[in-house]
Amino acid sequence: MVLIRDGAIATDEWVRAAEGKALPAGAPTIVPFARWLSDSSTLRGHSAPLGLYMTGADDPEAIAADVGRFALIAIEFPVFTDGRGYSTARILRERLGFQGELRAVGNVLRDQFLFLHRCGFDAFEVAETDAAAWHAALAEFRVWYQPTGDSRAPALVLRHRAQAAE
C-alpha cells in the first residue's frame, strides 16, 4: 500500500492499536471507534497524537465533543460501492469542524479520488498503480454543481459572480 497525503506520496508514521493492549508509548496511534467510546478516559492520556478508525456504521455525532482530540480520522471503505464514508466525512468536516487528516482506507480506487477529495478526504491508502494516477484523477473535472466543504466554488456561485461583475 501507498499513502497519498495532500497530493504527494508520504510516509505513514501512524501505527494501529493492538487489540486489548496498551497503546505504544510515544507513537501516533489509531484506535478503533468502539474502543474510544468504551475507554476514552484511558486513551486521552496517550503520550503521542491519537487517531480514530471509523467504519460506515459508526456515528460521527457520538464523538462530536472529541473531534479536536484526534490528529487523524481514518474511514474504512470495505468495498468502494459502500458510500457511507462520504457522508461521515462531510459531517466530520462541515458540521463537527474536524481539522486533522481525514484518511480513506480499504477499497479506495482512483475513480473515487475526486469525490472523496470533494467530501473532505486529504489522505488515501491506495495500491501503487493508483498513486501514479492521483493528479490525473483529480484534474478530470473542473466544474462542480454542488457546494461541499472544500474550496471549489460551485457553478452556481461562479455564474452569479460573473453576472454581478457585468
Partner 1 sequence: MYRYDEFDHALVAGRVDQFRGQVARRLAGELTEDEFRPLRLMNGLYLQLHAYMLRVAVPYGVLSSAQLRKLAHIARRYDKGYGHFTTRQNIQFNWPRLEETPDILDELAEVEMHAIQTSGNCIRNVTADQYAGVAAEEIEDPRVYAEIVRQWSTLHPEFSFLPRKFKIAFNGAAHDRAALRLHDIGLRLRRQGGQCGFEVMVGGGQGRTPMIAEIIRAFLPRRDLLAYLEAIMRVYNRFGRRDNKYKARIKILVHDLGAKAFAAKVEAEFETLRGGALDLPGAEVERIRRHFRPPPYDEIDDPVAWYDLKRREDKDFGDWARTNVGAHKRPGYAIANISLKPIGGVPGDATADQMDAVADLADRYSFGEIRITHEQNLVLPHVRKTDLFEFWQRLGAQDLATPNLGLVTDIIACPGLDYCGLATARSIPVAQAISTRFAALSRQHDIGELRLKISGCINACGHHHVGHIGILGLDKRGEEYYQITLGGRADADAALGKIIGPSFSATGVVDAVETIVETYLSIRRGGEEPFIATVVRTGLTPFKEALYGAH
For 78, other C-beta atoms within 10 Å of its C-beta total 13
Given a contact cutoff of 8 angstroms between Cβ atoms, the answer to whether 4 and 131 are in contact is yes
156 binds partner 1 (CB under 8 A): yes
Could you say whether residue 146 binds partner 1 (CB under 8 A)?
yes
Answer yes or no: are the C-beta atoms of 164 and 38 closer than 8 Å.
no
Shortest CB 108 distance to partner 1, Å: 12
Indicate whether 145 belongs to the interface with partner 1 (CB under 8 A): yes
Only segment of 8-16, 29-37, 39-47, 158-166 that touches partner 1 (CB under 8 A): 158-166
140 belongs to the binding site for partner 1 (CB under 8 A)? yes
Query: Which H helix or E strand runs over 71?
Result: strand 70-77
Distance of CA 69 to the CA centre of its chain: 15
Only one of the segments 31-39, 40-48, 66-74, 109-117 lies at the binding site for partner 1 (rule: CB under 8 A); that segment is 109-117
Q: Which stretch binds partner 1 (CB under 8 A): 1-9, 19-27, 44-52, 85-93?
A: 85-93
> How, if at all, do strands 2-5 and 8-10 pair?
antiparallel
Closest Cα partner for 94 from 158, 153, 147, 156? 147
113 binds partner 1 (CB under 8 A): no
Q: Give the end-to-end CA distance of the chain in Å, rounded to a whole number.
A: 50
Interactions with partner 1, residue window 8-67 (CB under 8 A): 56
**114 binding partner 1? (CB under 8 A):** yes
Element containing residue 72 per DSSP (H, E): strand 70-77
Q: Which of 16, 44, 135, 160 is close enough to bind partner 1 by CB under 8 A?
A: 160
Q: Out of 101, 118, 126, 134, which residue is the one contacting partner 1 (CB under 8 A)? A: 118
Between 51 and 85, CB nearer to partner 1? 85
